[in-house]
Amino acid sequence: MSAGSVAISALLEAIPYARFLGMRAELAGDEMTAILPYDDKLVGNPILPALHGGVIGAFMEMTAVAQLYVAQGHLRMPKTIDVSIDYLRSGRPETTYARAHVTKIGRRIANVHVDAWQDQRQKPIAALRGHFLVSPKDDG
């Protein structure tokens, strides 16, 4: 396991909700794929059944934070300023994946886009756009 993979695993282990969800990540170079294994506790609508929208949103937000953590060289934990989520289709009761694309890291703010999908990456179930506070290494 690479040093980056160990750092991402430690980061996700430090986030209680990520532990609750069972979220994990695979790192190939600087590209991270987040994985949300299916569990019955993640279902919001048992009639359909469909994953809870809050679970999907939180999964994508944590994916963005983890990708920023990788992009910044594991220096500081980014903090969420705001996110906007587009729910595109129901999340079926199966494993969900997400990838974040950092569109810009400035001195204080980073912009990130995340897509979440299940069986086909070209058919996302949700998309997130977010702004995150990033601090220079010498800031407190």
The number of CA neighbours under 13 Å toward the Cβ of 36 is 32
User: What is the tally of structural domains in the chain?
Assistant: 1
Token pair 């991270």 is found at 32
Predicted TM-score (pTM) of the model is 0.91
pLDDT in the model for residue 140: 47
pLDDT, tens digit (0-9, with 9 covering 90-100), for 19-63: 999 999 998 887 899 999 999 999 999 999 999 999 999 999 999
Q: What share of the chain is helix, strand, coil (3-state, %, to 5)?
A: 30, 35, 35
| CATH label of the domain that carries residue 99 | 3.10.129.10
Q: Which of 9-18, 72-81, 86-95, 131-140 has the highest mean pLDDT?
A: 86-95
Tell me whether residue 138 is in a domain.
no
pLDDT at 16 over 90: yes
SS3 13: helix
Residues spanned by the domain of 93 = 3-133
